[in-house]
Amino acid sequence: MSLAAYCVICCRRVGTSTSPPKSGTRWRDIRNIIKFTGSLILGGSLFLTYEVLALKKAVTLDTQVVEREKMKSYIYVHTVSLDKGENHGIAWQARKELHKAVRKVLATSAKILRNPFADPFSTVDIEDHECAVWLLLRKSKSDDKTTRLEAVQEMSEAHHWHDYQYRLIAQACDPKTLIGLARSKESDLRFFLLPPPLPSLKEDSSTEEELRQLLASLPQTELDECIQYFTSLALSESSQSLAAQKGGLWCFGGNGLPYAESFGEVPSATVEMFCLEAIVKHSEISTHCDKIEANGGLQLLQRLYQLHKDCPKVQRNIMRIIGNMALNEHLHSSIVRSGWVSIMAEAMKSDRIMEASHAARILANLDRETVQEKYQDGVYVLHPQYRTSRPIKADVLFIHGLMGAAFKTWRQQDSEQAVIEKPMEEEDRYTTCWPKTWLAKDCPALRIISVEYDTTLSDWRARCPMERRSLLSISSGIGEVLESPLHSEATNFLGSSELLVLGIGRWFGYHIAWEVFSSKRCCWKPLRSQK
């Protein structure tokens, strides 16, 4: 019995251990399924959320970028300081945040006080080293004239900026500011962009042919007999005919020497010079200046100016044409857009007095901020050629004689060998135009003006066959140049200062001055005659 009972107990134990309860297995499987499903749902949700956000970012336009780039629309590489310590650390970050806070305070106060500074800087994040540049730009566009002039003066005195900052000013400033910088003595040439690319020449064409076409397109009305004569003569000539006529008499005045020989052995340069002489006469008429601009004359003249950098005569006539066109204020925007301001700004800094004086006349006629006068062809301001705040106490007018010229008469000497042999310490004592160099230095409050008129021995017999010039006609022409501004609202510079003083070149110049001013109510007295 005991053995049988023991066997029954053992069998029960074996049965209990080999057959676990079914409910435990079911709950374990459910937990595993829940874990797997939850992980799948959570991962899928995160993946879908990431994809939705990435897609939204890809198709959404940030409108703040447009507002920011309204002021910073110029692509330049910002310079990085060489001192690595400046770009790291709490002090640098604190300084940067402090600058931003100060700018916000200034912008808020300016907006309250209706300061022009408020609008462009209240919503734009500008680096601290760029803030001064944009402040000057905004200041240069102020409605107050004094504020504009101060801004241009501050720009011209800036010599510590990076290249991109000068270029930024050059691209963002208005024409008035650009002209003011060109007429500021200390201005950096990096303020001026290169002229725009010139249009390509037509096929089977040349600058000579383009110039002849420009001359032919000008009206033949409102012309005197001499201008008609010069125009027809220039259009009738060509390189081939000039080569055949090189030993003949075909110049304006018909003097005893062939006109072509004065330009070397290049016939095309001769024709170009001949056409330029005729266009100079046309540019004295306002309506003809409009035609020159409409027919691409500004670009063509710029091409000739670049081609003949070694020919002062060609460049001088080109600048005379641009100076005459600058007398018309409605053409100022076209002259600025064509890049002539940049070219004249460089010419103003030339060591050649004639080149600098022609450039000064062009820029003075373009500058309506500080110059009320308009300088006609043949009137050159030797001093002051740049903007100045010094009041003018007297006008000194130099009129050359029969054998002279606006610059030649007032030179120190002819011999270049003497200049080479001078010691280095005496170089400053030599001058090619003593009124500009010596008189301007001794009397800076003077306005020194030199007047030029056609005069050579051959001009005693008129250059034009239909013209008969006399002392009275020459003096009358000079009087018109000096006292008849193109526009009636422009003030005349004669009599605007306290005193008018005349520098006379020999007997002929004295009598011209007497004829010009004898009927005028001007306070004038002649200087000692130039020998």
CA distance 371 to 153: 16
Q: Which two tokens stand for residue 320?
A: 């005379």
- What is the 8-class DSSP label of residue 437? I
Output 144-149 pairs: Cβ under 8 A, ≥24 positions apart: 145/369, 148/176, 148/177, 148/180, 148/369, 149/180, 149/369, 149/370
Q: Which two tokens stand for residue 470?
A: 């006399």
71 within some domain = no
Task: Give me the DSSP letters along 237-294.
Answer: --HHHHHHTTTS--SSS--SS-GGGGGTT-HHHHHHHHHHHHHHHHTTSHHHHHHHHH
Number of structural domains the chain divides into: 3
pLDDT of 491 reads: 39
Asked if 318 and 398 sit in the same domain, the reply is no
441 within some domain = yes
Sequence-distant (≥ 6) Cβ neighbours of residue 289 within 8 angstroms: 283, 324, 325, 327, 328, 331
CA distance 326 to 458: 31
Asked if 349 and 236 sit in the same domain, the reply is yes
Tell which of 191, 225, 260 closes a domain. Answer: 191
Asked if 338 and 376 sit in the same domain, the reply is no
Report the predicted TM-score, pTM, of the whole model to 2 decimal places: 0.69
Pairing of strands 379-383, 446-451: antiparallel
pLDDT of 476 reads: 66
219 within some domain = yes
Asked if 187 and 96 sit in the same domain, the reply is yes
- What is the 8-class DSSP label of residue 122? S
399 within some domain = yes
pLDDT of 430 reads: 75
CA distance 511 to 133: 55
Asked if 477 and 435 sit in the same domain, the reply is yes
Asked if 387 and 322 sit in the same domain, the reply is no
Round to the nearest angstrom and report the end-to-end CA distance of the chain.
166
At 451, phi and psi to the nearest 5?
-110, 135
Amino acid at 212: R
Asked if 140 and 264 sit in the same domain, the reply is no
Tell which of 139, 168, 191 closes a domain. Answer: 191
Asked if 191 and 164 count as a contact pair (C-beta separation under 8 A), the reply is no
CA distance 234 to 275: 6
The whole domain housing 226 covers 204-368
CA distance 226 to 249: 17
pLDDT of 55 reads: 80
Q: How far is CA 505 from CA 51, 449, 512, 528, 531, in A?
A: 89, 14, 10, 9, 7
Asked if 313 and 385 sit in the same domain, the reply is no
Q: What is the pLDDT along the chain (531 residues), one digit of tens a residue?
A: 454 555 555 555 545 555 555 566 778 888 888 888 888 888 888 888 888 888 877 777 666 655 555 555 544 444 444 455 555 567 767 777 776 776 676 666 655 554 444 444 444 455 555 678 888 999 999 999 999 999 999 999 998 888 989 999 999 999 999 999 999 999 999 999 999 999 888 777 888 889 999 999 998 876 777 788 778 877 876 544 544 444 444 444 444 334 444 444 445 667 788 889 889 989 999 999 999 999 999 999 999 999 998 889 999 999 999 999 999 999 999 999 999 999 999 999 999 999 999 999 999 999 999 998 899 998 999 999 999 988 888 888 888 877 777 888 888 765 555 444 444 444 456 788 888 888 888 989 989 988 887 765 444 344 666 665 666 666 666 766 666 433 333 334 554 555 566 666 666 667 766 766 665 545 455 554 444
Asked if 240 and 351 sit in the same domain, the reply is yes
Output 264-268 pairs: Cβ under 8 A, ≥24 positions apart: 267/239, 267/240, 267/242, 267/243, 268/206, 268/207, 268/208, 268/239
Asked if 321 and 362 count as a contact pair (C-beta separation under 8 A), the reply is no
pLDDT of 329 reads: 95
CA distance 82 to 222: 66
